[in-house]
Amino acid sequence: MSAPPLDQRVAVTGLGVVSPLGIGVDATWAGATAGVSAAGPITLYDPSETHTTIACEVKDFEPGDHMPSRIARRMERFAQFGVAAARMALEDAGLSLDGAARDRAGAIVGSGIGGLRSFEVQSEIMAERGPTRLSPLFIPLMIANMGAAQISMELGLRGPLSCVCTACASGNHAIGDAAAAIRRGDADVMFAGGAEATITQIGIGAFNAMRALSTRNDDPEAASRPFDADRDGFVMGEGAGLLLLERMDQAVARDAEIYCELVGYGATGDAHHLTEPDPTGEAPARAMTMALERAGVTPEEVGYVNAHATATPVGDTSELAVLRMALGDAAATTPVSSTKSMHGHCLGAAGGIEGVLTVKAMKEGLIPPTINLDNLDPDCEGVDHVANEARPATVDVAVSNGFGFGGHNAVIVMRRAEDA
């Protein structure tokens, strides 16, 4: 099969998500637009020895509902989430991947950490019983690329296959890189997003050591509060979010439902600090500007920004500087919200889950809110915060930001595809 010409347009034709707000797109969207907090006491391990005892866990997830149990047993939790979300996205797209089509279908799935639970369990085994008792599955369970690899194996994808590991920007980088693979003619279909499952004793304990997590243990539903003056850190989440990206001409030819068009992608580096963003916001602002310019849209055309805002004191104020710099005078009237206030910070899966919600905001004409925004930090003023209640709005252009430890910045821009 010959490759199509370069500079293909990229359609979003399928969505799949496993999130703390629910299993599937409908459940997650319903929770996000109702302003539901998924935060609660940790049940995945005994949290009594960690300073933070709350998180946004995925509830009622049964791997056997999405794959054979014998296969699920050879997957870490983050990979199970990824495979489930990919199957949902494929079904949603109504796409058949048979024969030669599989050679031109691939996956780029981000994960900031990978199989942390296996790392924790096997480290305990080595400490207690020695290295000769480690599981032969330890490495293939643990390594971060196995989310993408398991999706490829389960769906028979033989096209471009990769994993992005850029901390909290992983999902956005994966979506941008997957779209680029289609544009340059390497693939016709790509599954893109992120998967993560790090609610473990070592995961929570390590982020506690950094003083990054909220310790509002007595009021978990109010703990994740981006942009609020009383924020004290993020609430850990988990899950997976996948977009099915497809060559626009192929999607049109098969009369697919096209959610939107992925039109812009920008990526930069802070070159600043291990964990803190550059307070000037210069590098992520360049990523936003780059994405908008590549999309061919102006700041005034942006109808919604799904902010990265995690509810950390430094990160949220830095992002407001980014928005003011990249959007200029238009920032004051641009609707902005952080859905992390509801599903928590899902690390490498954040960009994927938020990408799904951003697409749905465009499709449904409804912007999910930032909940718990009761006392706006004066340093976070300057944009139109969608606070506490979802807002009906026509969104023709939407932006999703992803910024990760180490200074990784990734921004994607989506546009209605009514002219497809």
One domain for residues 304 and 354: yes
State the Cα–Cα distance between residues 161 and 167, nearest whole angstrom: 19
Of the candidates 363, 362, 288, 296, the one whose C-alpha atom is nearest the C-alpha of residue 7 is: 296
One domain for residues 377 and 408: yes
Domain's final residue, options 197, 225, 253: 253
Taking only the tens place, the pLDDT of each residue in 365-409 is 999 999 999 999 999 999 999 999 999 999 999 999 999 988 899
In a domain, 6, yes or no: no
State the Cα–Cα distance between residues 79 and 134, nearest whole angstrom: 21
One domain for residues 31 and 148: yes
Whole-number pLDDT of residue 255: 94
In a domain, 217, yes or no: yes
Taking only the tens place, the pLDDT of each residue in 97-141 is 988 899 999 999 999 999 999 999 999 999 999 999 999 999 999
Per the confidence metrics, is the pTM higher than 0.85? yes
One domain for residues 39 and 73: yes
In a domain, 3, yes or no: no
One domain for residues 327 and 225: no
In a domain, 392, yes or no: yes
pLDDT at 339 over 60: yes
In a domain, 97, yes or no: yes
Whole-number pLDDT of residue 6: 54
One domain for residues 192 and 70: yes
Whole-number pLDDT of residue 270: 83
State the Cα–Cα distance between residues 370 and 390, nearest whole angstrom: 8
Of the candidates 240, 208, 215, 219, the one whose C-alpha atom is nearest the C-alpha of residue 371 is: 219
Domain's final residue, options 231, 253, 275: 253
One domain for residues 249 and 270: no
Q: How many domains does the chain have?
A: 2
Catalytic residues: 168, 308, 345
406: Cα within 13 Å, side-chain hemisphere: 10
One domain for residues 75 and 220: yes
In a domain, 382, yes or no: yes
State the Cα–Cα distance between residues 265 and 9, nearest whole angstrom: 13
In a domain, 295, yes or no: yes
Taking only the tens place, the pLDDT of each residue in 56-94 is 999 999 999 999 999 999 999 999 999 999 999 999 999
pLDDT band at 1 (very low <50, low <70, confident <90, very high): very low
Whole-number pLDDT of residue 419: 57
In a domain, 420, yes or no: no
One domain for residues 235 and 279: no
Domain's final residue, options 226, 253, 280: 253
Tokens standing for 192?
């893109």
Count of Cβ atoms closer than 10 Å to residue 60 Cβ: 8
State the Cα–Cα distance between residues 269 and 260, nearest whole angstrom: 28
Count of Cβ atoms closer than 10 Å to residue 225 Cβ: 29
Rounded mean pLDDT, 11-34 = 98
Whole-number pLDDT of residue 65: 92
> What CATH number has the domain bearing residue 227?
3.40.47.10
Taking only the tens place, the pLDDT of each residue in 214-258 is 999 999 999 999 999 999 999 999 999 999 999 999 999 999 999
pLDDT band at 2 (very low <50, low <70, confident <90, very high): very low
Q: Name the average pLDDT for the chain.
A: 95
One domain for residues 148 and 181: yes
Whole-number pLDDT of residue 420: 52
One domain for residues 243 and 271: no
Name residues whose C-beta falls within 8 Å of residue 112's C-beta, 6 or more positions apart in sequence: 144, 165, 166, 167, 168, 170, 194, 196, 198, 347, 348, 404
Count of Cβ atoms closer than 10 Å to residue 63 Cβ: 18
Taking only the tens place, the pLDDT of each residue in 250-302 is 999 999 999 999 999 999 998 888 878 888 889 999 999 999 999 999 999 99
One domain for residues 249 and 269: no
Query: Range of 51's domain?
Result: 12-253
